Structure 1
Amino acid sequence: MSMSGHHAAAIAYLEESRDVLQRAIDDPAFLDALTRAADRVAGALASGGKLLALGNGGSAADAQHIAGELLSRLNYDRAPAAALALTTDTSVLTAIGNDYGYEAVFARQVRALGRAGDVLLALSTSGRSPSVLRAMEAARAGGLVVLAFTGRGGGAMPERADLVLHAPTDRTPLIQQVHIAAAHILCGLVEERLFPRPEA
């Protein structure tokens, strides 16, 4: 592929990304789900609860990214917020996967670490990941608030969630881009609500 061909491919992808973000901007249901999700997370954290985040592959990276933004900081210095990604402990993941099967790797952690009033943020671009769906079921049974970030269809996530944010596309990389943009907005709203920015 020539340099101009590379440029054309890059421009086409960036234009598609722009169009997907514009669809999110223009979708009142997307914006409502995002602001309601921030309210749920802020409410749980303000009451002494925590956020548990999980997903597979790129969604696992997103779960870790989100936990990092809350535990450390996003836009300014403030106290840490309680967030945990269930995707990071290789001993836990491999022990549960070996002993109970991969489908149980998140559900078992939710049962052990989740408490009523906590929030589970489940990320799946397809909405069909068995390990994610089982974790959502475990969270519902344990009295956690269940938030789902997924793609346009949502797979089997909507019936297992209290609140669903649908990225307005079926393309996995673009869904992931929308998810992390939405997560940054969510974390920013939570940060502002729980830890108001110091007056200049």
Structure 2
Amino acid sequence: MTEPLSSPVLEAAERHCQSLQEALAELRGPGLERLALWGTELAAVLPVGGRLLAAGNGGSAAQAQHLTAELVGRYQRERPAYSALSLHAETSSVTAIGNDYGFDQVYARQVAAHGRPGDVLVLLSTSGRSANLIAAAVTGRAAGLRVWALTGPGPNPLAEAADEALCVAGATTAAVQEAHLVAVHLLCESFDLAAAPPSRGAGAGRPAVTADRRMT
């Protein structure tokens, strides 16, 4: 028989879940409205040939790549593929730039290379203090990109460097990252709804019913 978990293990799990609940509570309200607006704005950029660039460090890099995968692939609805790049995944560029210019420039130089006026740059950071993301935000705004920051508790330097920021308060880095994943999904959901063409005939104005997302 499996022995019952010790009380400290259960208490730690309970604290983790409580921290996540608190972070999600912070995300609701104004955070939901901001994500809906971002999704709507993105739907005016990507379908006409614009591009989304995304970056983060560590776990936030994984979140950035999750976002771009949902846009190049799909979230829930079957739809066209849209241009979205995770800058950390360009490993040769990252290592070359880091070697030649320093780690603080690994994203800024890629933003300068790939970004065009009107594109969107999404930067994810639990601390909001990563120098390479702040440099990317400054470069992006100077190049005419729309810069959005998804961070941990504010105020923080990255939020101040971006055009707009959604700061999620959380007791732990893990809770903030988990809330950021929810934010990524809500952004994709808002984008899909805003980008969906209107249905013809009965039920016009509603998104077309399409295939459910496949389990992976």
Instruction: Answer yes or no: same fold by TM over 0.5.
Output: yes
Q: TM-score, normalised by structure 1?
A: 0.92
Give the Å deviation of 1:32: 2.5
Q: TM-score, normalised by structure 2?
A: 0.85
2:13 alignment partner, one of 10, 14, 31: 10
Q: Is the 8 Å Cα contact of residues 19 and 170 (structure 2) preserved in structure 1?
A: no
Percentage identity across paired residues of the two chains: 41
2: CA distance between counterparts of 1:23 and 1:135?
Answer: 26
Q: How do residues 21-100 of structure 1 correspond to structure 2 at under 5 angstroms?
A: 21-25=24-28, 28-100=29-101
2: CA distance between counterparts of 1:43 and 1:162?
Answer: 17
2: CA distance between counterparts of 1:37 and 1:79?
Answer: 19
What secondary structure is seen at the aligned counterpart in 1 of 2:182? helix
2: CA distance between counterparts of 1:20 and 1:199?
Answer: 32
What is the root-mean-square deviation in Å for CA atoms of aligned residues?
Answer: 1.8
Give the Å deviation of 1:151: 1.0
Q: Is the 8 Å Cα contact of residues 79 and 195 (structure 1) preserved in structure 2?
A: no
Q: Cα 1:170–1:162, aligned 2, differ >3 Å: closer, same or farther? A: farther
Q: Is the 8 Å Cα contact of residues 152 and 170 (structure 1) preserved in structure 2?
A: no
**Alignment size in residue pairs:** 198
1: CA distance between counterparts of 2:98 and 2:156?
Answer: 23
Give the Å deviation of 1:76: 2.5
Q: Is the 8 Å Cα contact of residues 40 and 119 (structure 1) preserved in structure 2?
A: no
Q: Which has the larger radius of gyration?
A: 2
Give the Å deviation of 1:170: 4.7
Unaligned runs of 5+ in 1: none
Give the Å deviation of 1:58: 0.6
1: CA distance between counterparts of 2:209 and 2:36?
Answer: 24
2: CA distance between counterparts of 1:81 and 1:69?
Answer: 9
- Residue by residue over 1:46-77, the C-alpha shift from the partner in whole angstroms, topping out at 9 and shown as x without a partner, is 33201100010111011101000111011132
